[in-house]
Amino acid sequence: MIKGIIHRSPMPGLRLSMGITLAMLSLIVILPIGALLSKGASFGLEGIWAVVSTERSMAALFLSFRISLFAALINLVLGVATAWVLVRYRFPGRKLLDAAVDLPFALPTAVAGIALTALYAPNGFLGAMAKEAGFKIAYTQWGILIALIFVGLPFVTRTVQPVIEEIEREVEEASATLGASRAYTLRRVILPMLTPAALTGFALALARSVGEYGSVIFIAGNIPLRTEIAPLLIVIRLEEFDYDGASAIGIAMLVISFVMLFVINGIQIWSRRRIGYV
Amino acid sequence: MSDIPAQGFRRATEETKGVQVLLILGVVACMTLLLFAPLIAVFSAALADGAVAAVQSLGNADARSAIVLTLTVTAIAVPLNAAFGIAAAWAITKFEFRGKAFLITLIDLPFSVSPVVAGLCLVLLFGANSLIGGWLVAQGNPIIFALPGIVLATMFITFPFVARELIPVMIEQGKAEEEAALTLGAGGWRVFLTVTLPNIRWALLYGVLLCNARAMGEFGAVAVVSGKIRGQTATMPITIEMLYNEYLSVAAFSMAALLALLALVTLALKTALEWRYADQLAATHRH
Amino acid sequence: MHIDIDEISKEFGVTAALHPVSLAIPSGALVALLGPSGSGKTTLLRILGGLEFPTAGRVLFDGADATNLSVQDRRAGFVFQSYALFRHMTVFENIAYGLRARAKAARPSSPEIARRVTKLLDLIQLPQIGDRYPTQLSGGQRQRVALARALAIEPRMLLLDEPFGALDAKVRKELRQGLRDIHDTTGLTTVFVTHDQEEAMELADLVVVMSMGRIEQVGKPEDVRARPKTQFVREFISA
């Protein structure tokens, strides 16, 4: 059977490398996710819906998704601007900024969580300034938004940056020789070229934000129905040993993840067909 | 026509200076508020009672046990994931087979699953209520609320890192060098050790670096499977949460500062690799 | 339109790409800037197109100073060596681009744009490809689309950078005649850059031989061939 699937090759190590790959993939990823899915299958769609449709679950899922969407949209704009500034402009500190963009990838989420809280809490440096202005950030949905912007910050920048580097100057020059203003060139030539990469980064940031836990729970306040995110509700259900309740919400989130993965792949296939690159 | 005003010497492919300055200032301001300010907040909160208090807070038994546990988990999880990454990259780039795209999607899957959901999956599979877990607990080898569970959770979260770095590099390098070595009579292991490994070592290091940073800092998945037993299953990030919730600010931020230092070192090494060995890394890291 | 290049020089940092050069291009001429790489021919073309600004000297269009005229206002139909077609737009959208980019007052109506694009597609003898994307075209087709796109803005001159550089020998011959025909139909002053002396001699009315940022000789192809002025020209055209 293997002969039909795998082309013959003189290269050594097929069995060993494929064996390790499939064994570890099964143990670490497939079996655990399968356990959740089979749990879901055991109580059926109505069973899942019964849990998910409760007011508290719906509020948590909707909150996670809605604020993640806002955060990803802000990251879309900020990320494209950051990538543009890093590639096209020269200014002191550019290389430091370039390296710092990846900080959210490297900084543990719990550290980011307490750091943002310390900063944006009413007694923190920026929180105090916001309080002066009659505005509360930490322990409100604004706090969640800031944490999720932080978490998703590098995605758009890092997907768009290589594409900007690849743009041929001649294409921009062609637009100018045809009489287009710089603004028109940016809008009609540059932005469409960046769109597939920017959308990929947007979807990646969104996927990451929806599931984010560590950096959010410190700054969120965690008030049911108002600032309680879906991953936190799973943790709460597990602490109550309500495995069914936790699983139902977990499956809802897994479905959201799969849909996003599907969308990301779709964007890339569309982009490759249409303009020949991702 | 000579009365047309001079438009200056701005190149056709540049924005006006004013736009440039505005954009740069805007981006720098956002990055300062979002990236640099929190970093400063961590260190200043850690040093609020002086450096001595900060260091002392890391010296008690619970803190030491957390550090040892985190190092232990990382020392197990990262090499295993590196081995997986190499094996997966070899299988995917050296052979042609059906379902390759699907396999890559499966490897990338952990990136899009919430850490908490990952922890939940492991609890369902290996927890005391499950078939496998019940048996393991009866044997006296529990996985959940113990070291193996923390390792598994960490591995799940960091699973794609190494493979993701290696696959594009190995695709780009092709397999001509390996084929040449084979025709010269080299065996499989010799080909891998003397031809492939030297070509991918910097990309491997890059992947291991990112994998390590994420492994030491993983919180959500570990929070679910560890049971948070002080002195036993509390990793550094978990300990930060416990200390913070007990209002032990200096202790919490001191440990956070330790992890933040690790993040900074990771970024520095990563940047150094990007500058020094850009041609041997995945194309997206070259700039 | 006739073009006067008056003592133009160009420095990039410390290196001089053009020593002061002067050249008069008569209205309606088809001119080749011929020279090896590094001779400054592309720099001179880009200065004419407004993509570079000279360090010193003036450019005059029909006797009026155009040195500081912005690239957008020059209305120079520029064809790039890589063609620089917009990959995310269809051929139709590429050709219509310059018309659609105009300020509202000067912009033709949609039907008028469609009419002009169709006419240009006929002119380049590719009437059927309006809906295709650049990646779906052959090299020769791309070149002709780039030419049509440049013509769509009703340019005052036509500037082409190595227009046949990326094509194989057979297509190159066909397209040379195509460029000649388009030049003769439109009557536009046309300047093209090439490193291929045969191409320059066969196609141009006037050949400008350049080397190391200087103009070595200006003349009709047969004169340059028969009476090379300098050692460099003699060696370059016999190569």
Instruction: Show residues of chain C in contact with B5, CB under 8 Å.
Output: 68
Report whether pLDDT(A206) > 90.
yes
Neighbours of chain B (3+ CB pairs under 8 A): A, C
| Mean per-residue pLDDT, A76-94 | 96
Instruction: Show residues of chain B in contact with C72, CB under 8 Å.
Output: 12
Interface of A with B in 49-68 (CB under 8 A): none
- Give the residue on B whose Cα is nearest the Cα of A263: B112
Q: What is the pLDDT of residue A266?
A: 85
Helix and strand totals (H; E) in chain A: 15, 0
Q: What is the pLDDT of residue B185?
A: 87
Local confidence band at A135 (pLDDT 50, 70, 90 cut-offs) = confident
Name which of B83-97, B159-173, C36-50, C225-239 the model is least confident about. Answer: C225-239
The SS3 call for residue C96 is helix
Instruction: Report chain C's mean pLDDT, rounded to a whole number.
Output: 94
How far are the Cα atoms of A172, A182, B19, C100, C103 from residue A179, in angstroms, in the given order?
Answer: 11, 9, 20, 10, 10
Local confidence band at B74 (pLDDT 50, 70, 90 cut-offs) = very high
- Give the residue on C whose Cα is nearest the Cα of A182: C72
Q: What is the pLDDT of residue B58?
A: 92
Instruction: Show residues of chain B in contact with A32, CB under 8 Å.
Output: 118, 121-122, 124-125, 152, 156
User: Under an 8 A CB cutoff, do B125 and A35 touch?
Assistant: yes
Report whether pLDDT(B31) > 60.
yes
Helices B61-94 and A14-24 meet at what angle, rounded to 10?
140
**Gap from C60 CA to chain B (nearest CA, Å):** 9
Distance CA B182, CA B5 (A): 69
Instruction: Show residues of chain C in contact with B7, CB under 8 Å.
Output: 68-70, 73
Distance CA C90, CA A76 (A): 27
| Mean per-residue pLDDT, B280-285 | 80
pLDDT in tens, A24-81: 999 999 999 999 999 999 988 898 999 999 999 999 999 999 999 999 999 999 999 9
**B interface test, pick of C4, C11, C67, C70 with most B CB neighbours within 10 Å:** C70
**Gap from A118 CA to chain B (nearest CA, Å):** 7
pLDDT in tens, C26-77: 999 999 999 999 899 999 999 999 999 999 999 999 999 999 999 999 999 9
% of chain B beyond a pLDDT of 70: 96
**C interface test, pick of A177, A195, A199 with most C CB neighbours within 10 Å:** A177
**Gap from C111 CA to chain B (nearest CA, Å):** 30
CA atoms within 13 A on the CB side of B187: 1
Among partner residues C50, C68, C72, which is closest to B6 by beta-carbon distance? C68
User: Under an 8 A CB cutoff, do C71 and A170 touch?
Assistant: no
Most confident of A248-257, B10-19, C167-176: A248-257
Instruction: Show residues of chain A in contact with B286, CB under 8 Å.
Output: 162
Interface of A with B in 246-275 (CB under 8 A): 246-247, 250, 253-254, 257-258, 260-261, 265
Helix ranges restricted to H, chain B: 17-31, 37-46, 51-57, 61-94, 100-112, 115-126, 131-138, 147-158, 161-173, 176-183, 188-191, 197-217, 220-226, 236-245, 249-276
Distance CA C185, CA B273 (A): 58
Q: What is the pLDDT of residue A256?
A: 86
Q: What is the pLDDT of residue A4?
A: 66
CB pairs under 8 A between A and C: 72
Q: What is the pLDDT of residue B9?
A: 53
Q: What is the pLDDT of residue A275?
A: 63
Using a CB–CB cutoff of 8 Å, tell me whether A211 touches chain B: yes
**Gap from B16 CA to chain C (nearest CA, Å):** 13
Looking at residue A121, the DSSP 8-state letter turns out to be S
| Mean per-residue pLDDT, C81-93 | 94
The SS3 call for residue C216 is strand
- Strand C15-25, strand C30-34: pairing: unpaired
Strand (E) or helix (H) holding C206: strand C206-211
Distance CA C62, CA B186 (A): 73
Q: Please say whether the beta carbons of C146 and C120 come within 8 A.
A: no
Local confidence band at A10 (pLDDT 50, 70, 90 cut-offs) = confident
User: Under an 8 A CB cutoff, do B95 and A234 touch?
Assistant: no
Among partner residues B125, B127, B224, which is closest to A235 by beta-carbon distance? B224
- Give the residue on B whose Cα is nearest the Cα of C52: B11
% of chain C beyond a pLDDT of 90: 88
Q: What is the pLDDT of residue A182?
A: 93
Q: Where are the domains of chain A?
A: 44-274
Instruction: Show residues of chain A in contact with B130, CB under 8 Å.
Output: 35
User: Under an 8 A CB cutoff, do C62 and B1 touch?
Assistant: yes
Among partner residues B12, B98, B107, which is closest to A25 by beta-carbon distance? B107
How far are the Cα atoms of A99, A101, A102, B82, C177 from residue A105, in angstroms, in the given order?
Answer: 11, 9, 5, 18, 58
User: Under an 8 A CB cutoff, do C65 and B7 touch?
Assistant: no
Report whether pLDDT(A276) > 60.
no
> Please, what CATH class does the domain formed by A44-274 belong to?
mainly alpha
- Give the residue on B whose Cα is nearest the Cα of A232: B116
Q: What is the pLDDT of residue B280?
A: 86
- Give the residue on B whose Cα is nearest the Cα of C71: B12
**Gap from C74 CA to chain A (nearest CA, Å):** 8
Distance CA A233, CA A60 (A): 7
Instruction: Report chain A's mean pLDDT, rounded to a whole number.
Output: 92
Q: What is the pLDDT of residue B214?
A: 95
Q: What is the pLDDT of residue B202?
A: 95
Local confidence band at C170 (pLDDT 50, 70, 90 cut-offs) = confident
| Mean per-residue pLDDT, A240-248 | 93
Q: What is the pLDDT of residue A3?
A: 55
Instruction: Report chain B's mean pLDDT, rounded to a whole number.
Output: 91
| Predicted ipTM of the assembly | 0.92
CB pairs under 8 A between A and B: 303
Report whether pLDDT(B5) > 80.
no
Q: Residue A249's closest CA among A264, A263, A229?
A: A229
User: Under an 8 A CB cutoff, do A118 and B179 touch?
Assistant: no
pLDDT in tens, C90-123: 999 999 999 999 999 999 999 999 999 999 999 9
- Give the residue on A whose Cα is nearest the Cα of B222: A214
